[in-house]
Amino acid sequence: MSPQLFERKHNVWSRLSLLLAVAGAAGFLGFMDILHRSPYVRYTKVRREQPVPFSHKHHSNLGIDCRYCHISVEKSAFASVPATQVCMNCHNLMWKEAPMLEPVRDSWESGESLEWTRVHDLPDFVYFNHSIHVNNGIGCATCHGRVDQMPLMYKEKPLFMLWCLQCHRDPAEFVRPADKIYDMAFDPKSLSREEREQLLEEYEIDTSNHRLTNCAICHR
């Protein structure tokens, strides 16, 4: 008979180490999940460097509609970044000496593009379409936050899949009337649940049969 290497007290250690291994693995996965959705990984609230420190707050508070610059938001997947000419519609005369606007004037004179940094950049395997959302009761502010209060643009919402699914599973919580889509201050919750369900019917948004949570709706 071979000599006993382990004593009775080692049973505790053995069990404890098993427990620790399982708990550690679970903890690690949980931590990675939280990290994956954290503002640190999602770049929320981060003011990215831009060629011109453009203020959505300032321009929106002048009463300029979102669509004045984002001209294709109602009819295409891409809301579009305005051409330099759109800036020059006003800045050919206003603040025409401002050093801050030097890159805009350079772009206007040379014909070269201003290279803005995309703040809301979904993964390439997501086929998000702006037009289908703004034409069916989802306002700018629902996904972009209060852009009219952002002096420098940042991402307010994390834009991970579970976040999108909140609305795709229950759009009645987020839908708003057609004349409030571009109204940043409007809160869909100011309507009753019944009123919002009524809106779903008006927009003919059909949530039956997992239609809005079908993978192929966003991934193809």
Q: Is 28 in the site for another protein (CB under 8 A)?
A: no
Q: Which of 37, 67, 133, 146 binds another protein (CB under 8 A)?
A: 67
Longest dimension (CA), the chain: 99
Residue 196 CA, chain-centre distance (Å), reads 22
Which bin fits 185, alpha (ψ -120 to 50), beta or left (φ > 0)?
A: alpha
Task: Give 19 or 77: the residue with its C-beta nearer to another protein.
Answer: 77
- Tell me how many residues contact another protein (CB under 8 A): 27
Q: For residue 14, how many other CB atoms are within 10 A of its CB? A: 10
Q: Is 83 in the site for another protein (CB under 8 A)?
A: yes
Site map 100..129 versus another protein, x via CB under 8 A: ------------xx-x-----x-xxx----
Which residue, among 71, 168, 73, has the nearest Cα to 129 in the 3D structure?
73
Is residue 23 a contact partner of residue 17, using CB atoms and an 8 Å limit?
no
Task: Give 60 or 171: the residue with its C-beta nearer to another protein.
Answer: 60
Least distance to another protein, CB of residue 68, Å: 6
Is residue 139 a contact partner of residue 183, using CB atoms and an 8 Å limit?
yes
What is the distance between the alpha carbons of residues 72 and 131, in angstroms, rounded to a whole number? 8
The DSSP output letter for 155 is B
Write the single-letter amino acid at 161: M
Least distance to another protein, CB of residue 36, Å: 11
Q: Is 202 in the site for another protein (CB under 8 A)?
A: no
Q: Is 49 in the site for another protein (CB under 8 A)?
A: no
Q: Is 33 in the site for another protein (CB under 8 A)?
A: no
Q: Which residues form the interface with another protein (CB under 8 A)?
A: 62-65, 67-68, 71, 77-78, 80-81, 83, 85-86, 88-90, 92-94, 112-113, 115, 121, 123-125
